[in-house]
Amino acid sequence: MPSRPDLPSYRTLNIDVDTGVATITLNRPRQRNAVGDGMRDELADAYRWCDWADAVRAVVLTGAPPAFCAGADLSAGERTFTDPGPDFSAAGIDVPAWSLRKPVIAAINGHAIGLGLTLALQCDIRIFAADASYGVVQVRRGMVGDAYAHWVLPRLVGMSNAAEILLTGATFDGHRAVALGLGSRVLDAAEVLPAALESAHDIAVNAAPASVAASKRLLWESFDLDRAEVGARETAIHLELMRLDDAKEGVRAYLERRPPRWSGS
């Protein structure tokens, strides 16, 4: 496992790395981790850093209790959505979680509303707290869902469920979130982060980094590919990975019943 790197420092979030797993914690608890005070830029920078740090094999995104992220900071009152600024983009942040070469797991340990939920939807794996509130509520604020919500949601949950989420702006609990197809697991709030970290550490130790990166990219790109194109990409990836020693090491480790020692990055 690569050595622990020097960590960047941020005002609105914390970052820590432990045995291959970077944990990014949205850290504005008084504002329920609402996106403001430069959090967009800092989260994008943290994602870039995780993507390039060899010591990072997987990323967990979570929020300082009691919330995951309350969405946009509404401290500007009625002017919150009326002063876009010259560089406005509804993309959420400049670096979506799906663009990283490492898997990003959203440990949604509390309320995730509006932008808070749409940022989580950009992650690869999502674990929900059972009793928190979730929703893409922007139509109830005179706006529409952001952070590519209209692209992600139909592909994750189908057109009908996406329409229910986006057009009603209604909130729902973690059980409903998983039933809709937004996540893979629903747990008590206190169990969400440990479960996400366990999954991330399992990936960091047992999954070949180059294989994970290739599979993740193809998963997200497959939304815009047909069956033949996916098959062609899978073949090309197989041929590329066959050139790496990790293709041998994975089998060696399995046959010798020991943890793999990956050399790829």
How does residue 91 score in pLDDT terms, banded at 50, 70 and 90?
confident
22-42 in b/e burial notation, b at 16+ Cβ within 10 A? bbbbbbbeebbbbbbeebbeb
Tens of pLDDT, residue by residue over 107-119, are: 999 999 999 999 9
Please give the pLDDT value at position 39.
Answer: 95
Enter the tokens of residue 203.
Answer: 């990936």
C-alpha distance from residue 174 to each of 110, 119, 153, 198, 227 (Å): 9, 16, 16, 20, 33
The structure tokens 């920078």 sit at 45
pLDDT, mean of residues 92-116: 96
How does residue 168 score in pLDDT terms, banded at 50, 70 and 90?
very high
pLDDT at residue 57 is higher than 70: yes
Alpha helices in 224-264 (DSSP H): 227-241, 246-256
Q: CB count, 10 Å around CB of 209?
A: 22
Helix (H, G, I), strand (E, B) or coil at 13: strand
Q: CB count, 10 Å around CB of 206?
A: 12
pLDDT, mean of residues 113-141: 97
Tens of pLDDT, residue by residue over 12-52, are: 999 999 999 999 999 999 999 999 999 999 999 999 999 99
Per-domain boundaries in the chain = 13-204, 208-256
How does residue 220 score in pLDDT terms, banded at 50, 70 and 90?
very high
Enter the tokens of residue 205.
Answer: 């130790």
Please give the pLDDT value at position 92.
Answer: 78
- pTM for the full model? 0.94
pLDDT, mean of residues 67-93: 76
pLDDT at residue 79 is higher than 90: no
Cα–Cα nearest to 8, from 34, 44, 32: 44
Please give the pLDDT value at position 73.
Answer: 79
pLDDT at residue 88 is higher than 70: no
pLDDT at residue 158 is higher than 90: yes
pLDDT at residue 4 is higher than 80: no
| Contact present, 61 and 120 (Cβ < 8 Å) | yes
pLDDT at residue 2 is higher than 70: no
How does residue 10 score in pLDDT terms, banded at 50, 70 and 90?
very high
Please give the pLDDT value at position 41.
Answer: 95
14-28, 64-78, 111-125, 143-157: least confidently modelled range: 64-78
Please give the pLDDT value at position 81.
Answer: 67
| Contact present, 218 and 229 (Cβ < 8 Å) | no
Dist. CA 154–CA 159, nearest whole Å: 5
φ/ψ of residue 60, rounded to 5:
-115, 130
Amino acid of residue 78: E
Dist. CA 226–CA 189, nearest whole Å: 39
Compute the mean pLDDT over every residue in the chain, rounded to the nearest whole number: 94
Under CATH, which architecture does the 208-256 domain have? Orthogonal Bundle (1.10)
Q: CB count, 10 Å around CB of 143?
A: 15
Does residue 173 or residue 84 have the better pLDDT? 173
How does residue 84 score in pLDDT terms, banded at 50, 70 and 90?
low
Report the CATH superfamily, name and number, of domain 13-204: 2-enoyl-CoA Hydratase; Chain A, domain 1 (3.90.226.10)
Which residues are paired to 106 by β-bridges?
Answer: 61, 126
Please give the pLDDT value at position 94.
Answer: 92
